Amino acid sequence: MGILKSAVLVIGLCLAALSIFQLERARQGVEMRGFSAGTTPVTLYQVNATGPLIVIAHGFAGSRQFMESFSLTLARAGFRVAAFDFEGHGRNPVPMSGDVTAIDGTTARLVAETARVIAAARAETEWAGAVGLLGHSMASDVIIRTALADQGVGPLVAVSMYSEAVTATAPDQLLMLTGQWEPHLRAAALEALRLADPGAGEGDTAAGPVLRRAEVAPFVEHVGVLYSPTSLREARAWFAAANGFVPNGPLAVTGPWIGALMAAVVLLAWPLAALGGPRRPAPAALPRGQFLAVIGVPALVAPVIAATIETRLLPVMVAETLAVMLLFYGALQLAALWALGHRPGRLAPLPLALLLFWGVAVFGLLLDRYAASFMPTPARLPIIAALAVGTVPFMLADAMLTQAGQARLWRRITARLALFGALMIAVALDPERLFFLIIIFPILILFFCVHGLMGRWVGQHGGAMAAGLGLGVVLAWALGVSFPLFDARG
């Protein structure tokens, strides 16, 4: 290993150790224990076992881990916090169900589930006072509707809120937090604020019979708002004021350390990839015209095929459509490459094992502990296997087209953009059924930024076969644990 790679190894290890230290420090002194509300898994966070109770709900495709900055901050301020996984999300074994387009469908089921969690958390903590609720995105509407139906619910914090249930008089204690880069949701929060006080603006508090405030977290978007110090500080102050005490304890600003830890894991993959053997010469590149044809034609054909096939074999939104599209996408590219005389080469087992271990076990376990659910429940294992039928040929073709990670930058970018274009075509062909394909865009962006880099470095030492197979399995895993389970028959 050269001097540069040795230096990167040391820097990566130091950064990872520092990040883990800081993330564990944020948990220090906080008791965390699990309990269940029926089939719904719940985590109770507390320092003071007598503090007021707050229930925290995540957004669509989220999990309890996603909301932990709020959970830890509020627990360290003296509250008892119950965070849970909605049906279809995280460790919850029960799929979502009902009509997602109707208030009396899926939303009503989620409101009922939230009410069950509140009741279970009350029993678990023996708390008899008003319960505070905090919800992000999809859950902002759920907690508002829960509060309107339950007289025992007190102050609310709606993060990235959109809800048609808000009126001029209800809910009567509502803090709305949005990111600076969420213009539509900022407008919705301001509109809800002005229902109570027509002259109020962002940062103002409408006082009187209705207590309402809209606050903006600077320089963040829909996810970053969950980790913003402004969001954490405002939520803590809102709940504290409603319960008549001054909060103490530091904010759990874990976002930067989560980012630093993920960066360290990716950084370490570069020197570790060299364990797979010496760097291989770059495979021959396709001529530009052939490359664009092999990229473009499947991107146009595969979504058309996928949009015409409708099955309900898997309890996951649009999973079958995605698997079918990627299968045809990858198969068409592999067939074209084969006809043009390009082969993936022999499988190098050690580089493949390194990529799977680092991408799933190391990255996945750390992500699952600190940021988002990444370890699958038994019900998700068949979904991961089914998705792999499409993701493996797709990523194998991608590894060959990008010359096992050694292609020019414009070729790698073009290959990625073609996939996003194909997904948009599929959504445009059947928007009612396939709209939820859009939710995988952030997952794919994160996958290519993180695992794509790992695969590129592994491919340089192990070849296209190792990189393609490894990334195909990791992509199936990432999608399989991220898609909400959904039973359309429920």
Per-residue pLDDT at 101: 66
Q: What is the pTM of this model?
A: 0.92
Pairing of strands 96-97, 486-487: parallel
- What confidence tier does 105 reach under pLDDT thresholds 50, 70, 90? confident
Please, what is the average pLDDT of the chain? Answer: 92
Flag the least confident range among 87-91, 242-246, 297-301, 370-374: 242-246
Mind listing the pLDDT tens digit for each residue in 49-62?
Answer: 889 999 999 999 89
Give pLDDT, residue 142.
97
Residue 443 pLDDT: 86
Q: Which two tokens stand for residue 209?
A: 């019979």
Q: What pLDDT does 247 receive?
A: 80
pLDDT band at 30 (very low <50, low <70, confident <90, very high): very high
**φ, ψ for residue 486, nearest 5 deg:** -150, 130
For residue 47, how many other CB atoms are within 10 A of its CB?
Answer: 19
Q: Could you give the percent of the chain with pLDDT greater than 90? A: 76
Residue-wise pLDDT tens digits, 155-180: 999 999 999 999 999 999 999 999 99
pLDDT above 60 (res 369) = yes
Q: What is the mean pLDDT of residues 236-250?
A: 90
- For residue 421, the model assigns a pLDDT of 94
The CATH number fitting domain 38-253, selected from 3.40.50.1820, 2.60.40.1930, 2.60.40.3880, 3.40.50.300: 3.40.50.1820
Q: pLDDT at position 319, please? A: 79
280, burial (CB in 10 Å: exposed 0-12, middle 13-18, buried 19+): middle
Residue whose tokens read 């429920």? 490
- Kindly tell me if the per-residue pLDDT of 302 is higher than 90: yes
Q: Where are the domains of the chain?
A: 38-253, 256-487
**What is the pLDDT at residue 1?**
65
Tokens (6 digits) for 262: 């993920």
Convert the pLDDT of each residue in 400-435 to its tens digit.
999 998 999 999 999 999 999 999 999 999 887 787
Taking the CA atoms of residue 406, residue 410, residue 413 and residue 415 in that order, the dihedral angle to the nearest 10 degrees is -80
Q: How confident is the model at residue 436 (pLDDT cuts 50, 70, 90)?
A: confident
- State the maximum Cα–Cα separation within the chain, in Å, rounded to a whole number: 75
Strand spans (E) along 70-172? 80-84, 96-97, 131-136, 153-159
181-227 confidence digits (pLDDT tens): 999 999 999 999 999 999 999 999 998 889 999 999 999 999 999 99
Mean pLDDT of all residues in 358-363: 93
pLDDT of residue 330: 96
Task: Encode pLDDT of 142-158 as tens digits.
Answer: 999 999 998 899 999 99
Band of pLDDT at residue 488, cut at 50, 70 and 90: low
Q: What is the mean pLDDT of residues 228-249?
A: 93
Contacts of 147 (CB under 8 A, 6+ apart): 133, 153, 156, 170, 171
- Residue 14's H or E segment, with its range, is helix 3-27
Percent of the chain beyond pLDDT 70? 98
The two beta strands, 80-84 and 53-57, are parallel
Residue 39 has pLDDT above 90, yes or no: yes
Reference 119, options 241, 37, 214, 184; nearest CA is 37
Neighbouring CB atoms inside 10 A of 57's CB total 28
Judged against a pLDDT cut of 60, whether residue 18 lies above it is answered with: yes
Can you tell me the distance from the alpha carbon of 217 to that of 234, in angstroms, rounded to the nearest whole number?
9
Report the helix count and the strand count for the chain, using DSSP H and E.
15, 11
**Confidence (pLDDT) at 490:** 57
